[in-house]
Amino acid sequence: MTDSASPRTPDVPDKPTVDGLEDKWDAVWREQGTYAFDRERALSLPREQVFAIDTPPPTASGSLHVGHVFGYSQADAIARYQRMRGKEVFYPLGWDDNGLPTERRVQNYYGVRGDHSAAYDPDFTPPQQGAEGKSVKAADQVPISRANFIPLCEELTVEDEKAFESCFRRLGLSVDWSQTYRTIDDRSRAAAQQAFLRNVERGEAYQAEAPGLWDVTFQSAVAQAELEARDYPGAFHRVAFHDGETPLFIETTRPELIPACVALIAHPDDERYASLFGKTVTSPLFGVEVPVLAHPAAEPDKGAGIAMCCTFGDLTDVIWWRELQLPIRSVITRNGRLQGETPDWIAGGPGEQLYAEGLAGKTVHSARVAVVDALRESGDLDGEPKATQRKANFFEKGDKPLEIVTSRQWYIRNGGRSKELREALIARGSEIDFHPGFMRSRYTNWIDGLNGDWLISRQRFFGVPFPVWYPVDADGETDYDRPILAAEASLPVDPQTDIPAGYSGEQRGVPGGFVGDPDIMDTWATSSLTPQIAGGWSVTSDAGGRNDAELFDKIFPFDYRPQGHDIIRTWLFSTVVRSHFEHGSVPWTGAGINGWILDPDRKKMSKSKGNAVTPEEVLRQHGADAVRYWAVSGRLGNDAAYDEGQMKVGRRLAMKLLNASKFALTMGDAPAVAALVTHPLDRSMLAALAQVVTDATRSYEAWDYTRSLELTESFFWTFCDDYIELVKDRAYGSHGEEAAASARAALRIALSVQLRLLAPFVPYATEEVWSWWQDGSVHRSSWPEAAECGVTDADDGTLAAAGAALAGIRKAKSDAKLGMRAEVTALTIAAPTAIQQLLRSAEADLRAAGKVTADPHYVDGDAVEVSDVALTPPPPRN
């Protein structure tokens, strides 16, 4: 709801300043509930008059950085505009406080790490508190139980979230702070578990024993969306397999996987190997027979053109294994070492001793060295390894290449293995208005490139547990084929402490009893449900007491999802997947994609790279309005440089707004009534402003808030530098009361309109000025309409012409090295005939502003140009 303007006698401070405005107005907004969401009003309005935002919940792990300020300021400018357009804005904010980033911070902060095998210590005290910005080596971290580790995560995230809220409040985000949530709170856990259970019931989620990406450092599975391809040093090894007495050479960067080889693969059109397809060869060192097979993914021009398929060296191996129905011969385990027992297919063969004595239990690197040494000795290594840079998959937060290990994990279908689902999810993307539009292609390209379903299991501690137990048979074996699913009414549950129906606590982990699923969900599996969590989607148990089916039905799908382009593949896509399954719709109708912040080397700023700037000091140094100005100067979709110079421009704008407003409001009593505006110069100014309102509104409606700011700011500086200077003398009454009333009314109309145009960008300075002469908040006032300017005709150019002439007079004084108080005793103004007429209508204002004591001499010209200026130095100041 917007408030109607209610002018009163101005109360203007003697020395306006932008300093301290954040503390002053945050307290007022908090006390008055300026940005509170009015649920009852929202329910009473047509849907198009409600604007719901699915705000990104920042990861609560340490500190924010300026990238957050950048993106959130842009989203806030949209929210403020929609609110001023009279819409009821649903603008919640959550904290993404579960998952790996939180655990890493806890590990470093307290010097501990979670260990499933550690016993609970009721008197545990962390060995340290602090170590900000430092990484504690794993060997120095104290292993503690899950029950000891999780409370430390909860404790630290709460403190981080307080700091985040303080920063966002200072930035001036107009969120409703009563509408906050945590992705680890009871409601979020219940919502995530309920959505998962329904995915399972509908066949959209399933469990499988399958090869998956594994980070040996973090001891957790990794999804395709979390991959990052990096160059990694390696070497090509030319190795001989054996076709009887004939060597068959392959080239590999991973000779340590020879004991895991299940086939050699070449392209079906490669004539070099056509005669071998369907036959078998034996592996070097181990003498294991493997088939030679054809597959179109083989690359004839790479290396020898024939490659080992090992289980598993890379994702291509997984494709070959699956499509050619090959056996699994895994040797690399979850800890990044080769398995300790000699595999069955090697036992009894020529490589049994080599494996048992040289490879068992070794790291990948040590095993590689041992295999290469053995290949040299056997004569199966042709030449020496040739150094190369190979592309390897890393977990985006990891430091070591990922391995592919076979394990039991939960998956959600996402089109990676179903053409029909893939096409349906691509079609969903066409229902979303991406801003800018080209970002839709990133969404589509990501789906087209999927090669597997969404792996949502994580072998970590602090997250949403799977609401699943498994029966243990009489022999003590876990029966994964008959999972015991929690009832929705019981959510949230923790299968490590809670007991499934029909069992007792004594039956945990014993024959005939049960075990809880030890894993947690990927953090995206929870944050993919932010519209449901924040919007009141009904959770059967009503955990957290925030069910609101009536509101959810009103606002879902939401209107807007602001986010970065780097997480289109994760957060945006996963949210679409969950909504598609649960609701048969998109989660929102619009998505605004912001760019990255770049450091001086044009690299993305990020905490993990150590090149990010934290916003707290920047906000203190430059002020929130200045920082917001820099942020909204960047368009959606565009990366932007971190630029404190731009922030200084923003601070100057905010300060000028205060000072110019002080002048406009201290010109004596004059109501902002358009009928009083009679002077041609005043009407020209208001006509130009009316056009700015029209164009700025059109830009906002096209999601181009930056253009709206550019138009408004350009006019504002013309208003300050030209219009105010031109009418100052008249506004003081030197040309009569009617002329003064026209100037004063025009000044106040223009001030009211410009304050509202600038309010989404510089909320503190505009609120401060508004409070000098208006009741209520500028942020609850209505967005300006062109009709408020009271001029129906287009701008005739009087202000532009007078401004150009004034600029010419100023230049003449500057060129003569005289101050602006110098008098002009003669001048010539060249201009087209029509423009001369405009200048004559504003001549009195021009002469007063330029200290012109003689009548100007007008001559014809193509443009306004001032010449032949005679100047008299000003008298010295007393």
Q: Which amino acid would we find at residue 205?
A: A
Residue closest to 221 by CA, chosen among 449, 502, 410, 415: 410
Q: Considering only CA atoms, which of 502, 482, 498 is closest in space to residue 490?
A: 498
Joined together, the tokens standing for residue 846 give: 């021009």
Contact between 192 and 467 under an 8 Å Cβ cutoff? The reply is no
* C-alpha dihedral sign at 634, 640, 642, 645: negative
Q: Please choose, from the candidates 443, 450, 513, 516, the residue with its C-alpha nearest in 3D space to the C-alpha of residue 485.
A: 516
**Tokens, residue 814:** 């500057």
Alpha-carbon distance 654 to 755, whole Å? Answer: 11
β-strand partners of 520: 458, 465
The span from the CA of 21 to the CA of 661, in Å, is 16
Binding residues for ATP: 607
676 and 667 in contact (C-beta within 8 Å)? no
* Residues with Cβ within 8 Å of residue 141, at least 6 apart in sequence: 107, 111, 112, 113
Q: Which backbone phi and psi does 166 adopt, to 5 degrees?
A: -60, -40
Q: Are strands 246-252 and 227-243 parallel, antiparallel or unpaired?
A: antiparallel
DSSP conformation class of 137: P
C-alpha pair distances (Å), 182 with each of 93, 189, 613: 9, 9, 25
3-state helix, strand, coil in the chain (%, to 5): 40, 20, 40
Whole-number CA gyration radius for the chain: 35
Q: What is the enclosing helix (H) or strand (E) of 768?
A: helix 763-773
What lies within 8 Å, CB to CB, of 116 at 6+ separation is 146, 518
Q: Angle, to 10 degrees, between the axis of helix 615-622 and the axis of helix 66-84?
A: 60
- Would you say 634 and 706 are in contact if contact means Cβ atoms under 8 Å apart? yes
| Binding-site sequence positions | 607
Q: State residue 478 phi and psi, 5-degree precision.
A: -75, 130
Question: For 391, left (φ over 0), alpha (ψ -120 to 50), or beta?
Answer: beta
| Contact by Cβ (8 Å): 478, 193 | no
Q: How far apart are CA 760 and CA 77, in angstroms?
A: 5
Q: Are 78 and 705 in contact (CB under 8 A)?
A: yes
Task: Give helix 644-665 / helix 624-632 axis angle, nearest 10°.
Answer: 110
Structure tokens at 824: 């002009």
Question: What does the alpha-carbon distance between residue 845 and residue 833 come to, in Å, rounded to a whole number?
Answer: 20
DSSP-based three-state secondary structure for 616: helix
